[in-house]
């Protein structure tokens, strides 16, 4: 099912200017990770000192304006849902304002984190050197819960020796937080998300080794929890046994954590419970899940190889199962969709068409606003 193209007020909302751009952060194109490892006991960064000169702060979103004549050029996408274009292969995506009209998006292969809005300029707010072979690189990122004050960004990245969580300071300095996550030719894609101030959840891929995912002594294929304020945080294992392309999708309404991944026995959507993981749905044909998000009582799971998004009704106390997925064909509208994120009752999605042979169009890769049509409550299992 194709998402209807918004008109009227919705179109005006899509063209609204939402926020101004934050300070541009840059890092050296060739980082010495060995030196960073030796200096990792430096501790957490403090808030940005006021005596370092004025810094541009995001302004409040402006009110919607009447549609104007769109600019011309190769990176102008006619789809009014699209808010960022002409990106390199994407990974993590986050809304940059409450209305979702602007976005932060990571480029997996370049190590850049970019802020963008429809028809607006794109600016790099941070860069981290990465090893982008296979499915590695800048895997995911998360802004500090105190970002407006400390300007810290956390990222899950691939280096020449491992996958790791790093902290990017306002001056561009990259400091290791958690190292030693196994890397492989595949199975590097993971996800990070703050559950509260200082507490970061880290989902790691199995690096192509299903045995490592089951091994409690390995950081591969795990859902970990770390204290980012600690000098050398010891990861707590919340769950294990994950496969490739592990995506966290927290529900902002109730705090539930859903995890989508591609395991040896099939692609899965699971929910984290106090007793462990509970399987909600599985795809035995392994279509290739690449992301997920939760909004308005619905869970959307992106399946890039099939150019679709599967939408399920989220479980509730009254109905603890999920409904049979509603399959939404998004090939013509977006193509291959990777990571997704939530804002309000809608979502943002990032395409990965440049990594899918024959799928890319002139304006790829892109970020767009997406509203799922909804899963059904029948045919539960």
pLDDT digits (tens, 9 = 90+) for 136-152: 999 999 999 999 999 99
The mean of the pLDDT values for the chain is 84
For residue 288, is pLDDT > 80? yes
- Pick 374 or 204 by higher pLDDT: 204
How confident is residue 374, by pLDDT bands cut at 50, 70 and 90? low
Q: pLDDT by residue (tens digit) across 111-134?
A: 999 999 999 889 999 999 999 998
Helix (H) or strand (E) holding 112: strand 112-117
Percent of the chain with pLDDT over 70: 80
For residues 312 and 322, the answer to whether their CB atoms sit within 8 Å is yes
Q: What is the pLDDT of residue 120?
A: 87
CA–CA gap between residue 45 and residue 289 (Å, rounded): 36
Q: What is the pLDDT of residue 9?
A: 41
Percent of the chain with pLDDT over 90: 71
CA 365-366-368 angle, to 5 degrees, is 160
CA–CA gap between residue 248 and residue 259 (Å, rounded): 5
- Pick 266 or 378 by higher pLDDT: 266
Across the range 76-97, mean pLDDT stands at: 96
Question: How far is the first Cα of the chain from the last one, in angstroms, to the nearest whole number?
Answer: 23
Across the range 209-219, mean pLDDT stands at: 96
CA 188-190-195 angle, to 5 degrees, is 155
Residue with tokens 């290739």: 288
Q: pLDDT by residue (tens digit) across 42-68?
A: 333 333 233 333 323 333 334 344 456
Q: Residue 312, exposed/middle/buried by CB under 10 A (0-12, 13-18, 19+)?
A: buried
Q: Residue 111, exposed/middle/buried by CB under 10 A (0-12, 13-18, 19+)?
A: buried
For residue 357, is pLDDT > 50? yes
For residue 16, is pLDDT > 50? no
For residues 138 and 108, the answer to whether their CB atoms sit within 8 Å is yes
Helix (H, G, I), strand (E, B) or coil at 21: coil
Q: What is the pLDDT of residue 145?
A: 95
Q: Which homologous superfamily is 21-28+78-370 in? A: TolB, C-terminal domain (2.120.10.30)
CA of residue 122 relative to chain centroid, distance: 18
CA–CA gap between residue 247 and residue 363 (Å, rounded): 25
Tell which residue, 133, 187, 192, 184, has the closest CA to residue 167: 192
For residues 302 and 296, the answer to whether their CB atoms sit within 8 Å is no
Q: What is the pLDDT of residue 195?
A: 94
For residue 10, is pLDDT > 60? no
For residue 34, is pLDDT > 80? no
Residue with tokens 């902002």: 252
Q: What is the pLDDT of residue 26?
A: 38
Residue with tokens 């899940």: 289
Q: What is the pLDDT of residue 301?
A: 98
Q: What is the pLDDT of residue 52?
A: 32
Q: What is the pLDDT of residue 264?
A: 78
Structure tokens at 3: 């998402």
Tell which residue, 74, 59, 47, has the closest CA to residue 18: 59
Peptide bond into 365 cis (omega under 30): yes
Q: pTM for the whole thing?
A: 0.82
Q: pLDDT by residue (tens digit) across 327-345?
A: 999 999 999 999 999 998 9
Helix (H, G, I), strand (E, B) or coil at 50: helix
Across the range 95-108, mean pLDDT stands at: 96
Rg (CA), the chain: 20
Q: What is the pLDDT of residue 317?
A: 84
């Amino acid at each position: 099912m194709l998402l209807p193209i918004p008109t009227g007020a919705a179109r005006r909302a899509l063209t609204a200017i939402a926020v101004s751009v934050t300070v541009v952060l840059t890092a050296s194109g060739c980082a010495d990770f060995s030196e960073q490892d030796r200096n990792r006991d430096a501790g957490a960064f403090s808030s940005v000192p006021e005596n370092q000169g004025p810094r541009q702060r995001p302004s409040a979103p402006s009110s919607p304006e009447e549609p104007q004549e769109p600019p011309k050029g190769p990176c102008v996408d006619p789809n009014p849902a699209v808010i960022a274009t002409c990106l390199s292969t994407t990974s993590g995506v986050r809304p940059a304002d409450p209305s979702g009209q602007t976005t932060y998006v990571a480029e997996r292969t370049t190590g850049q984190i970019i802020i963008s809005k429809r028809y607006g300029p794109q600016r790099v707010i941070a860069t981290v050197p990465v090893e982008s072979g296979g499915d590695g690189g800048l895997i995911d990122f998360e802004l500090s819960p105190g970002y407006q004050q400390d300007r810290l960004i956390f990222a899950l990245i691939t280096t020449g020796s491992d996958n790791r969580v790093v902290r990017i300071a306002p001056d561009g300095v990259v400091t290791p937080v958690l190292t030693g996550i196994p890397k492989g030719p595949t199975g590097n894609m993971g996800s990070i998300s703050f559950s509260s101030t200082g507490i970061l959840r880290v989902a790691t891929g199995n690096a192509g080794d299903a045995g490592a995912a089951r091994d409690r002594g390995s950081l591969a294929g795990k859902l970990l929890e770390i204290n980012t304020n600690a000098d050398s945080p010891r990861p707590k294992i919340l769950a294990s046994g994950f496969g490739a392309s592990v995506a966290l999708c927290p529900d902002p309404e109730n705090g539930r954590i859903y995890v989508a991944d591609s395991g040896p026995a099939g692609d899965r959507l699971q929910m984290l419970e106090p007793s462990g993981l509970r399987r909600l749905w599985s795809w035995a044909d392994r279509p290739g899940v690449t992301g997920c998000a939760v909004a308005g009582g619905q869970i959307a799971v992106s399946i890039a190889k099939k150019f679709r998004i599967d939408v399920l009704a989220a479980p509730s106390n009254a109905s603890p199962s999920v409904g049979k997925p509603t399959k939404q064909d998004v090939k013509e509208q977006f193509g291959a969709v990777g990571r997704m994120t939530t804002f309000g009752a809608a979502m943002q999605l990032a395409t990965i068409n440049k990594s899918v042979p024959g799928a890319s169009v002139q304006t790829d890769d892109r970020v767009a606003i997406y509203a799922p049509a909804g899963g059904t409550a029948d045919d539960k299992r």
